[in-house]
Amino acid sequence: MITASIVKELRDKTNAGMMDCKKVLTETNGDIEASIKLLRERGIAKAGAKSDRAANEGIITARVNDAADFGFLMEVNCETDFVSKNDNFQAFVSEVADVVAASDAADLEAALAVPHTESNVGDYVKTKVLELGENIQLRKFERFNAAPGGVVATYIHLGGKVGVLLEVGTTKEETKSSPDFQELIKDLTLHIAACAPKGLSRDDIPQAIVDGEMDIFRVRLLEQGKPENIIGNILKGQIGKFFAESCFLEQGFVKDPDVTISQLLEQKSKALGDTLTVTRFVRFGLGE
């Protein structure tokens, strides 16, 4: 006989629905462990059935270790804003982030393969489909391991709608603990969140994108009746403006647009008696 107490025990362990718990307990003759396994198997099956449904809501979260020499950015998606604000879902995302932070996972595939519970993170994510009834995905993951002298920083904006991961290089150990340096890296991550640069420098912008912008500018100039012999010079100015708007180091600092990020780094380097370099960054926008 399947008692109410054993149904409750299984429900407490899995967070699955009461009827689901009662059904699998009946099928397994009251074996709790077998029932947990069966629920997880069915959770994975249901996740597959829902995998084609759009999951554009969710949470972007981050972790950085105490030494600030490694950190990661992670996006876990669900289908609705209602679920993304659910305490259960938020605790689940935090748990997954903590599990991955304790590993050396370097990319999304490795993060999904990190051992957790009786299987791995990927399967654990899928079991949430059974509980929440939505398509749940660990969609994006980026990890930075800092080079010697490097510092990793993160910033989460709008309650998990935007996330930034940044690495800044230094040449002096004492710089890392300087309040001015800490303020700088906070400002840089905030800038990236707000201004969404397409790349660190011009070298990071794919040539196909540059060529596409050039074609658009050329068509506009021809439509304006500009003579062919001056279009080349105008295009240089137009593409220069495009790079200034798109490249992190050329953008005007969000807190002082008259100063570019490159100039800001020079100013802070002199003030700190160091040479500061932004090595790399990544920005996640929820559902993008």
Residue 198 lies in domain: 147-205+247-288
Summarised one tens digit per residue, pLDDT across range 135-182 is 899 999 999 999 999 999 999 998 899 999 999 999 999 999 999 999
What CATH number does the domain containing 25 carry?
1.10.8.10
Are residues 257 and 192 both part of a single domain? yes
- pLDDT value of position 247: 97
Are residues 211 and 232 both part of a single domain? yes
pLDDT band at 75 (very low <50, low <70, confident <90, very high): very high
- How many residues does the structure list for the chain? 288
Summarised one tens digit per residue, pLDDT across range 216-225 is 888 888 888 8
- pLDDT value of position 273: 97
Are residues 114 and 230 both part of a single domain? no
Q: Residue 157, class by beta-carbon neighbours within 10 Å (0-12 exposed, 13-18 middle, 19+ buried)?
A: middle
Nearest to 73 by CA among 61, 64, 84: 61
Rg of the chain, C-alpha, whole Å: 25
Helix/strand/coil for 53: coil
Are residues 23 and 42 both part of a single domain? yes
Of 129, 145, 161, the one marking the end of a domain is 145
DSSP type of residue 160:
T
What CATH number does the domain containing 224 carry?
1.10.286
Are residues 86 and 128 both part of a single domain? yes
Are residues 188 and 96 both part of a single domain? no
Are residues 189 and 265 both part of a single domain? yes
Domains contained in the chain, number: 4
Are residues 132 and 169 both part of a single domain? no
pLDDT band at 47 (very low <50, low <70, confident <90, very high): low
pLDDT band at 60 (very low <50, low <70, confident <90, very high): very high
Between 163 and 20, the higher pLDDT residue? 163
| Percent of the chain surpassing pLDDT 70 | 94
Are residues 134 and 156 both part of a single domain? no
Average pLDDT over residues 199-215: 91
